[in-house]
Amino acid sequence: MVDPQVRSISISNKVQMLDINTITISGTVIGKVETYKKEALNIARLHIAVLNKDNVANPSHFKVVAFGDLATYCQENINDTDNLIILGKLEIQRPIRGQQEIEIQAKTIIPINRKSKEPEFTVTPID
């Protein structure tokens, strides 16, 4: 078992970093969920505003992408101004106009503060 305090593991005189790429954010959906299909795979894209502790007037904005059944769930259930918890991993996209795009690939989306529903847990494996 790996000690959670260990930041790297030494193997055969080489240092290999542990592969930990997870992110959890909570925020508010901004705008409409965009959905489309690519090679029969459902894809949903949405934007999340996350309040900063020190600067409430200037929230951070994150692009979120969901695939498969989770994308379908987003299309059918997520709306502008919904509050969500997003669990996933960070991905760097190919440079567009010379700039790298960073987005969150959602693994789990949990709606919060909904009057009509209890929180729903939806999980889609990430490769």
Which tens digit of pLDDT belongs to each residue from 70-106? 999 999 999 999 999 999 999 987 766 777 788 999 9
Residue 41, in any domain of the structure: yes
Which whole-number Å values give the CA distances from 101 to 2, 9, 51, 62, in the listed order? Answer: 32, 30, 21, 10
Residue 36, in any domain of the structure: yes
Residue 5, in any domain of the structure: no
Residue 10, in any domain of the structure: no
Residue 7, in any domain of the structure: no
- 86: domain range? 15-123
- Judge whether 26 and 83 are in contact, CB under 8 Å: yes
Q: Provide the number of structural domains found in the chain.
A: 1
- Judge whether 39 and 30 are in contact, CB under 8 Å: no
Residue 64, in any domain of the structure: yes
Q: What is the pLDDT of residues 9-64, one digit of tens each?
A: 444 555 555 668 889 999 999 999 999 999 989 999 999 999 887 767 788 899 99
pTM, entire model: 0.70
CATH number at residue 20: 2.40.50.140
Give CA–CA dist 22/16, Å, rounded.
18
Give CA–CA dist 3/94, Å, rounded.
34
